[in-house]
Amino acid sequence: MRARLIAVGERMPSWVAEGFAEYRKRLSYELPLELVELKPGARGKGRDDAKAMQDEGAAILAALPRDTHVVALDGRGKTWSSEELAEQLKAWRMAGRDLAFLIGGPDGHAAEVLARADQRWSLGPLTLPHMLVRLVLAEQLYRATTIVAGHPYHRA
C-alpha cells in the first residue's frame, strides 16, 4: 500500500520541509508517502474566493489516482486517537487500496472534494496552519505504523 498527500500550497518553510522529509523517510518501508503540492487558487482584492476554492478542488480531484481510498482532512471530520488511527491503518491495509490524504486551501475543500472523500479526518478543534498539518499528518502516520508493528516509538 502506498499513500499520497495532495496539498494545496507550495513552498513549505524549511523547518516544515525538513520535518516532513524525516517522517517520509521513516515511512518509506511501511507506508511510502508521496507529496503532491498544488498551486493555490487566486485570492485577493477583486478576486472570487469561491472560484479559487472550486479551482483548487478541480486540481485535487485531477491529482487523485484511480481506485484510491480518499481521506479529506476536514475540521468537521472524525477525530481519531493515535491508536484509532492505527486501527484505521490496519483496515486500509486489509482493503488493499492505496491512500490519498487531502489538504485543501485556506477556505477548506470544495463540495465536490468532500463528496469524493471516503472519509473525513479532523486533527482536532485547533486551527492549524496548513503547512503544519502536513508535518502532523506525516508524524501521525509514522506513529500509527509503529503501533501496528509493535515498535516502542509510541509510549501509551
Tens-digit pLDDT profile for residues 33-73: 999 999 998 888 888 888 999 999 999 999 999 999 999 99
Residue 38 labelled as part of a binding site? no
Given this model, what pLDDT does residue 153 score? 84
- Is the distance from CB of 72 to CB of 121 less than 8 angstroms? yes
Percent of the chain at pLDDT > 90 equals 81
Residue 126 labelled as part of a binding site? yes
d(CA 146, CA 79): 19
pLDDT bin (cut points 50, 70, 90) of residue 12 is confident
Residue 127 labelled as part of a binding site? yes
Closest CA to 112 of 39, 48, 56, 66: 56
Torsional sign, CA 111, 101, 77, 43: negative
- The residue ranking higher by pLDDT, 113 or 48, is 113
Closest CA to 35 of 140, 135, 143: 135
Residue 123 labelled as part of a binding site? yes
pLDDT of 155 above 80: no
Q: Which residue has the cell 472570487?
A: 48
Given this model, what pLDDT does residue 41 score? 87
Tens digits of per-residue pLDDT, 143-152? 999 999 998 8
Residue 104 labelled as part of a binding site? yes
Given this model, what pLDDT does residue 15 score? 94
d(CA 55, CA 5): 18
Helix (H) or strand (E) holding 120: strand 119-122
Contacts of 155 (CB under 8 A, 6+ apart): none
d(CA 60, CA 136): 20
Residue 27 labelled as part of a binding site? no
